[in-house]
Structure 1
Amino acid sequence: MEIKAQVEQLLNDFLAEREDLFLIDIKFSVSDHVRVILDGDNGVTLQDCLDASRAIEFNMDRDEHDFSLEVMSAGLSEPLNTPRQYRKNIGRSLELLMNDSSEVEGELTKVEDDKITLILKYRKPKEIGKGKVDVVEEREIPYSDIKKALVAIKF
């Protein structure tokens, strides 16, 4: 069996037993380096990564396939890709890069199958007179309009 198909099958078997975890990405290099990125509804622990790694490595024949394996959690620098990832970040601030190259930042309040809802807070010039006024706006954004979404890190 091809290494890619075998790794994917073993990973799917592992994830079927661990419904709290889900696959974000799996990459295969030409030098048979495999990188697996996992996320979880309650985060991913080091033990979760070890368990996934063992589920793959202990069931592969090293005489048949020589490969290196890296299993990691999706960090804060990884973009959000699936509705499940968005759901676990409700209440957090997101930074979105839109398909039209505009940027939007707001608090994630609602996640649906085809869109998300953000609360945007910003200042805009008064319609009459000088100065600015605070604005709180709720905006629904379809996934199809989002090029990249990251959890905003605030210190």
Structure 2
Amino acid sequence: MSRGLEVPYFITSNELVTMLSRGRILDIIQQKIDDDGYFIVDVDIKQGGRIVVAIDGDHGVGIDYCVEISRLIEGSLDREEEDFELEVSSPGIGQPFKVHRQYVKNIGRQVEVLTKSGEKYSGELLSVNDGGFVIKEEKIVKPEGKKKKELQIIEHPFNFEELKSVKEILKF
């Protein structure tokens, strides 16, 4: 029996993504994040083994906590078997909400709503339920037949299915 040349086995990006799965990262961090009172906004495995984790909390997330989660993930993965790049952060200001708890966290704050039909609204996030939320929009309008402008307050209910994006807006 002759022994032929051994052909090295190269892992394709699709195989790497399979090994570095979203579910595997969630398994590593979910319990700790829940126990510490934070929540996961997103876990994304990008091409080339780039892992991007976004976490948040009702009172924000500090850099030290992001470092702690990053170390937990790195300590649970073997760099000998999996080459990866890791980024753990909180969602940036002005980034669209991705999970229900972000809506709850932002009750009482100003948000911008963009519907799938292209309509844009902004106002205070009043309430959130499983199906959607309500914002209070304040506009200064000039009613027909009157000389003075008046403050008009309108409550807009939204279903999550009709939305393209919702994000917090900061006013100074």
User: How does the TM-score come out when normalised to structure 1?
Assistant: 0.90
Q: Distance in 1 between matches of 2:169 and 2:68?
A: 29
Q: Which has the higher contact order (CA 8 A, sep 6+)?
A: 1
SS of aligned partner of 2:48 = coil
Q: Does the 8 A contact of 1:116 with 1:142 survive in 2?
A: yes
Q: Pick which of 22-31 and 5-14 moved more.
A: 5-14
Aligned-pair CA distance for 1:130:
4.3
Regions of 4+ moved over 2 Å: 5-8, 11-18, 127-133
How many residues are paired up?
154
SS of aligned partner of 1:120 = strand
SS of aligned partner of 1:56 = helix
Residue 59, structure 1, aligned to residue 76, structure 2: yes
Among 156, 163, 170, the residue aligned to 1:139: 156
Among 15, 19, 26, the residue aligned to 2:33: 15
After TM superposition, the structure 1 = structure 2 runs for residues 117-136 of structure 1, keeping only pairs within 5 Å, are: 117-136=134-153
Identity %: 30
SS of aligned partner of 1:51 = helix
Greater C-alpha radius of gyration: 2
Q: Distance in 2 between matches of 1:63 and 1:22?
A: 30
> 1:34-68 CA distances to partner (integer Å, 9 max, x unpaired)?
11111112211112101111111011111111111
SS of aligned partner of 2:76 = coil
* RMSD (CA atoms): 1.7
User: What are structure 1's unaligned runs of at least 5 residues?
Assistant: none
Would you tell me which structure has more strand in proportion to its own residues?
1
SS of aligned partner of 1:48 = helix
Q: Distance in 2 between matches of 1:83 and 1:26?
A: 15
